[in-house]
Amino acid sequence: MSLYDDRPELKTETEHTADESVNVSMVMEFPFRLLEWGIDAESNIVYLSDEITEHTLPELIQKFRTVLRFNDPDEGKKPINLLINCLGGDLISTLGIVDYINSLDRPVNTICRGGAMSAAAVILTCGTGKRFMSPNSTVMFHEGSMMEMGRVTDVKNSIKWSEVLLEKIYGLLADKTKEDADFWKKTLQADTYLTAEECIKSGVIDEII
């Protein structure tokens, strides 16, 4: 399947991204624009490169759905490839992305080319298919940071909730790697940078490509 195949324009069904800039008929009529939108339908690739914010999850869902529309049903449920070069971002949104990946009826391969930092490192590790990393890429784990202002009680509650989220992260990493939750709790206390070889050793990825 080529990005430049002649395909009929969809007349009746329209889906929008968070900023309503993409719809299915536009994608079918102008497939060369897919790369601008962070999609390579020919290779089943979705790109994650911007900071992870509250907008990232709905945008990724739209990208995944658009890629799936190009899949030939006769070819079966091919994996989706999530290509990551991202500095990280919001932890709540990250957990939402992990849940979405787990909800799909097909595997999601995660591929780090460049860097997978902070929250993006968690997404890389939690791929449901094969997890890959190019030889000169970098992965960085840490527990993150928060800048909370307001009433003392609200700040304390935010800290408690952050600790709950971090416990979820420790558990996810333990489930997906060769190390236990205590290892990850200790590792995430400071910025910890890992090479591709170190990621293989700890079970963060499955293969160097």
- Give catalytic residues, as residue numbers: 118, 142
143 and 166 Cβ atoms separated by less than 8 Å: yes
Instruction: Please return the burial class of 3, using the count of CB atoms within 10 Å of its CB with bins 0-12, 13-18 and 19+.
Output: middle
46 closest CA partner among 109, 89, 133: 109
107 and 79 Cβ atoms separated by less than 8 Å: yes
Distance between start and end Cα atoms, the chain: 24
17 closest CA partner among 65, 86, 71: 65
